[in-house]
Amino acid sequence: MLSRINRAYPAALQTEGLSPSEAAVVAGVGRSMLFRLIADGSLPARKIGKKTIILRGDLMSFLSHLPRAGAGAS
């Protein structure tokens, strides 16, 4: 889905607000996991009417603050 969007629009016109499906693809998780992260307050989301929007910056910040995996990580 995102590759289709990336091909169709130049970088300057790509959306800052991602749908839950788009955000899940970017984060590499399923939609149900994404909605759990929103529900427990770990990932901020906005509502426009009935539509849920995740700001690209909020998603990137969430991902960058996840604990590192590997040796010494708990």
Give, rounded to a whole angstrom, the gap between the first and last alpha carbons of the chain: 34
Please report the pLDDT score of residue 70 as a whole number.
85
Please report the pLDDT score of residue 29 as a whole number.
96
The torsion angles phi and psi of 67, rounded to 5 degrees, stand at -65, 150
pLDDT tens digits for the chain (74 residues)? 666 666 666 665 667 999 999 999 999 999 999 999 999 999 999 999 999 999 999 999 999 999 998 866 55
For β-strands 46-48 and 17-18, DSSP reports them as unpaired
d(CA 64, CA 56): 12
d(CA 51, CA 64): 25
Instruction: Look up the pTM and report it.
Output: 0.75
